Structure 1
């Protein structure tokens, strides 16, 4: 009997194949007390397991194929960082020393402590790194158990018989395990857990493979060798489809493959609308190693480099100036002279600050970290940490064009404090004689208070970047991480669209640069509307650049602009925009123009 399973669409397209189930890799954990005389021996066993796993990670990274996505190597680095973090191994050693837990029990106990901290994080990307932590602990438990649990996953096509396409179904998949797969084996992924910024989603997008995550009980409902369809556009998994449905999706799959081929031909084509408007399509990246991916996608630079990766999982051991400078410099040099916009650390009240305990830090914001000490609020509360980052950024600007982006500003007071710190850093660097570059300073518009007081921001900043993810969340009072209300998260809400429109219009009128760096920028459904609003700079995941560029090439901004007032005045903007598009007859990319870019 055919069944349908719904999840989150994280990588577009259609995959059809036989299911290969990888059961949950959770290892049974023995619990017992260690004799006090053997505590040191047990800690040594834990340390030896860490060293063994570190060697495994090194071997995996060393043997990476040349064509492997950069995201996989970057995620391995994250796992190595978590493995070496004293908040995991050192704290687990404390459980052994103080409670006499065996090593496996100590690891599991510390995982529970850290998992609660990850669950409280506001930032979706950081929150979903909990899965990475769990997978590192799982590898450690496998080593400690001398093979107890699942063996390492190493599927090859011959293991499953024939050349029929295969799709992978699992509770979750670690990046290290994914590296053991041949890229040609699996044509799609389905996982029970995960979100749009989980590692499985990141890898699926980087490989341009259809994927659905967060499908809850998929691995329990799907049986080995079931015929399944993955609809990466709708977030739908169809198990044992009828012949009619199967044929329909096979047709859609062929159409999708043709579309991908067309998009690939547009990769290095200038993004210019039919009426001659040049559009800037930029990439969002997380690590310096993502720069080649951004270049390969045909982006015109980096519109958002999230610096949080340097601070993630560090506890109070925050990165110093030299470490940050080296990372920012690699990103800048990796873009070969194209501009790089680096956001100062946007981390929440869930991360401890220097000199403060976790309980002290979260005293005011434990109930809702989204409204607590996060982003620029955190930076301004720790000015020495903030100045270290600013110094590293100004020094990196000596190696290429850099823009500094300040997140979550909401008042004139915060703006003044930020500018004072910037001026102080510039004086320090000038006196030290260290080479620095000229930077543009920008503000993220992601708090309604900022969108409603734009003249203050336009007076002090060179450019604005609209963070639509948080702007939507704060405008609609919706916690994106809360499943009970997540369905109310609506980028088409009239209030959201009006704030975005007013921000774009006022920035353009003041001669300031303005871009959108949230999910709306990479969603082709919003491309023409944002163009109609006057937006000329978009920043998105590198794999979304080609699809958005296709929309840009087909757009005539003069014809589109006429529908904006109707849409903004409507109670149902999405419906009004669709009707306006039909009435206006969206122009198609002519064969001559398509041929000219081949």
Structure 2
């Protein structure tokens, strides 16, 4: 078969080369037939038993989670178990069997189609991902009903002398199935749907497995057992590569493996540029357990603790102040005196606390992050008290997301003072000098920096949202993913302005978005004056290597030229040229 390439969204770095294993949706093979009256209850029982079987499967997956499994996997399994227990899944299809006389598979599929249609009417990235979760749960039930096994028998025979490793190709893959694949010969995956922040993307990054999502027609164009190459750095997939291309990618793969081994030697090396400028490298974490990976990578501290992950996957229940305190304290202690920057709740948009109550037409522009917290003062105060109590156990900082207005800053600072007062009254200790910073992720914030530097102790640029809001792009929508461009001149101007304003005011400025972990952009950010990077721990050593090879005397003049440029091709070429300096 002729070779062809597909272009999607890169979500996890590295190169994977293997045979394609197609996961055909069970829904495609569902038979439709009417059940006679006297057999209806037997059909109801068949569906109930299938639901119970999937419940047991999920419980087994949870119990058997390996110690090194990403913490996100447990949360995703919990979400699927909750969906399975919802009456819309566990009861409604039974009514369809009884009233319409549909067979169990048809009844379940009918209900899922109706639910999916409802989700399609909601313009919300988080809810779109929840639609995928519901479909993944239904897939598991359908496979039980139909007696199909989604995973292949491993075969290590390979005519080319390479171990036949498996690249999974599917319309979508559930996190639970990914865990099963991980125990086999699974080295990468390709999906038709998904975005940078879909569950499959998050798990891929956590497992450090090459992946490409949002490939549109991959599962229909790629055939079973085709040789497939995933270039996770670019989001390119090559099917049926020629012998020459295959050899080229195998060589690149070996080079990457050798480079990774070399990087491990940099763990204890100081992160200093060639001309002697020290750079601070921080880690982004979701849960306290991630501190171990941060310490292992040699991080100077935590630049972003995404505290909302403590609140998610809990069926709407909220962790108590004491529960939060224990988690924040644990992180502070694990970092052994290094800074731990805890971002207050960034709920809303793609991370609602309660999906049922989250019906805004465009939540990304609605009640999210600090807006949500100010609207729920008791929830906010509880978190602030927990963070302040943890500040006794390490160098803890508070980071406020999505600020845009002076009154929001003033209200947030007033509530921090109120939380301190409540702790004093209760006789509970806290660090009275705890620093408070602002996330710069809205263009309005970047264009009104004087009011921020006047009030805050430090700034952190959230490039993911800053790009999204500047370019009016839903960053998890694969249909507009090609428009998401960190090198857009407007984005670069906003970042450069923020760094310059921080320096002028004498306060620290970090970048904690995806740009911080992209080695192709490290020199550009250094040239803009950035001295504090915060990223996923897995990216830290590669960025450190780039820093060690950088000479600011050469980079900064070229960066000034880039910031004056407006043509996309000229900017891209100039950024690439920085790599040669």
Equivalent-residue separation in structure 1 for 2:214 and 2:417 (angstroms): 46
Q: Which residue of 2 aligns with 1:167?
A: 166
The secondary structure found in structure 2 opposite 1:200 is helix
Equivalent-residue separation in structure 1 for 2:447 and 2:33 (angstroms): 56
Structure 2 portions without partners, runs of 5+: none
- Structure 2 residue 521 is the aligned partner of structure 1 residue 526: yes
**Kindly tell me: are residues 384 and 29 of structure 1, through their superposed partners in 2, closer, same or farther at Cα, counting changes over 3 Å?**
farther
Q: Which residue of 1 aligns with 2:375?
A: 381
Could you say what the CA RMSD is over the residues aligned between the two structures, in angstroms?
Answer: 3.7
Q: Which residue of 1 aligns with 2:551?
A: 556
Q: Which residue of 1 aligns with 2:241?
A: 241
**Kindly tell me: are residues 244 and 474 of structure 1, through their superposed partners in 2, closer, same or farther at Cα, counting changes over 3 Å?**
same
Kept in 2: contact 1:121–1:349 (CA 8 A): no
Larger mean Cα displacement after TM superposition, 445-454 or 490-499: 490-499
Taking the TM superposition and a 5 Å limit, the aligned residue runs for 1:398-417 are 398-417=392-411
The secondary structure found in structure 2 opposite 1:509 is helix
Kept in 1: contact 2:13–2:209 (CA 8 A): yes
- Structure 2 residue 86 is the aligned partner of structure 1 residue 89: yes
Kept in 1: contact 2:461–2:510 (CA 8 A): yes
Runs (4+) of structure 1 moved beyond 6 Å?
29-35, 41-45, 48-51, 96-104, 159-162, 350-354
**Kindly tell me: are residues 336 and 199 of structure 1, through their superposed partners in 2, closer, same or farther at Cα, counting changes over 3 Å?**
farther
Equivalent-residue separation in structure 2 for 1:292 and 1:583 (angstroms): 33
**Kindly tell me: are residues 370 and 430 of structure 1, through their superposed partners in 2, closer, same or farther at Cα, counting changes over 3 Å?**
same
Kept in 2: contact 1:15–1:167 (CA 8 A): no
Kept in 2: contact 1:344–1:405 (CA 8 A): yes
Kept in 2: contact 1:306–1:343 (CA 8 A): yes
Equivalent-residue separation in structure 2 for 1:49 and 1:585 (angstroms): 59
Q: Which residue of 2 aligns with 1:209?
A: 209
Q: Which residue of 1 aligns with 2:270?
A: 270
Taking the TM superposition and a 5 Å limit, the aligned residue runs for 1:95-110 are 95=92, 105=107, 109=111
The secondary structure found in structure 2 opposite 1:565 is helix
411, 421, 427: which one pairs with 2:415?
421
The secondary structure found in structure 1 opposite 2:187 is strand
Larger mean Cα displacement after TM superposition, 226-235 or 333-342: 333-342
Q: How many residue pairs align between the two structures? A: 568
556, 567, 570: which one pairs with 2:562?
567
Equivalent-residue separation in structure 2 for 1:247 and 1:272 (angstroms): 37
Equivalent-residue separation in structure 1 for 2:413 and 2:239 (angstroms): 57
Equivalent-residue separation in structure 1 for 2:286 and 2:393 (angstroms): 19
Equivalent-residue separation in structure 2 for 1:390 and 1:402 (angstroms): 12
Kept in 2: contact 1:89–1:107 (CA 8 A): no
**Kindly tell me: are residues 239 and 585 of structure 1, through their superposed partners in 2, closer, same or farther at Cα, counting changes over 3 Å?**
closer
Q: Which residue of 1 aligns with 2:149?
A: 151
Superimposed CA distance per residue, residues 254-293 of structure 1 (whole angstroms, 9 cap, x where no aligned partner) = 3222222222322342211111212111222223332223
Equivalent-residue separation in structure 2 for 1:565 and 1:395 (angstroms): 44
- How far residue 141 of structure 1 moved from its aligned partner, in angstroms, is 5.2
TM value normalised by structure 2: 0.85
Superimposed CA distance per residue, residues 379-412 of structure 1 (whole angstroms, 9 cap, x where no aligned partner) = 1111122112222222233333222211111011
Q: Which residue of 1 aligns with 2:491?
A: 496
Larger mean Cα displacement after TM superposition, 418-427 or 160-169: 160-169
- How far residue 414 of structure 1 moved from its aligned partner, in angstroms, is 0.9
Superimposed CA distance per residue, residues 23-42 of structure 1 (whole angstroms, 9 cap, x where no aligned partner) = 2355849899999xx99x97
Taking the TM superposition and a 5 Å limit, the aligned residue runs for 1:203-352 are 203-314=203-314, 316-348=316-348
- How far residue 535 of structure 1 moved from its aligned partner, in angstroms, is 0.7
Q: Which residue of 2 aligns with 1:453?
A: 448
Superimposed CA distance per residue, residues 2-43 of structure 1 (whole angstroms, 9 cap, x where no aligned partner) = 1212222222232222222332355849899999xx99x979
Larger mean Cα displacement after TM superposition, 226-235 or 160-169: 160-169
Equivalent-residue separation in structure 2 for 1:271 and 1:339 (angstroms): 17
- Structure 2 residue 74 is the aligned partner of structure 1 residue 76: yes
Kept in 2: contact 1:18–1:227 (CA 8 A): yes
**Kindly tell me: are residues 504 and 116 of structure 1, through their superposed partners in 2, closer, same or farther at Cα, counting changes over 3 Å?**
farther
Q: Which residue of 2 aligns with 1:463?
A: 458
Equivalent-residue separation in structure 2 for 1:584 and 1:154 (angstroms): 43
Kept in 1: contact 2:193–2:478 (CA 8 A): no
Structure 1 portions without partners, runs of 5+: 587-598
Kept in 1: contact 2:324–2:383 (CA 8 A): yes
Q: Which residue of 2 aligns with 1:394?
A: 388
Q: Which residue of 2 aligns with 1:14?
A: 15
The secondary structure found in structure 1 opposite 2:181 is coil
**Kindly tell me: are residues 44 and 5 of structure 1, through their superposed partners in 2, closer, same or farther at Cα, counting changes over 3 Å?**
closer
- How far residue 295 of structure 1 moved from its aligned partner, in angstroms, is 2.5
Equivalent-residue separation in structure 2 for 1:350 and 1:262 (angstroms): 37
Equivalent-residue separation in structure 1 for 2:325 and 2:356 (angstroms): 27
Equivalent-residue separation in structure 1 for 2:329 and 2:338 (angstroms): 13
**Kindly tell me: are residues 315 and 288 of structure 1, through their superposed partners in 2, closer, same or farther at Cα, counting changes over 3 Å?**
same
TM value normalised by structure 1: 0.83
Equivalent-residue separation in structure 2 for 1:336 and 1:58 (angstroms): 35
Q: Which residue of 2 aligns with 1:509?
A: 504
Kept in 2: contact 1:303–1:539 (CA 8 A): yes
**Kindly tell me: are residues 469 and 451 of structure 1, through their superposed partners in 2, closer, same or farther at Cα, counting changes over 3 Å?**
same
- How far residue 450 of structure 1 moved from its aligned partner, in angstroms, is 0.9
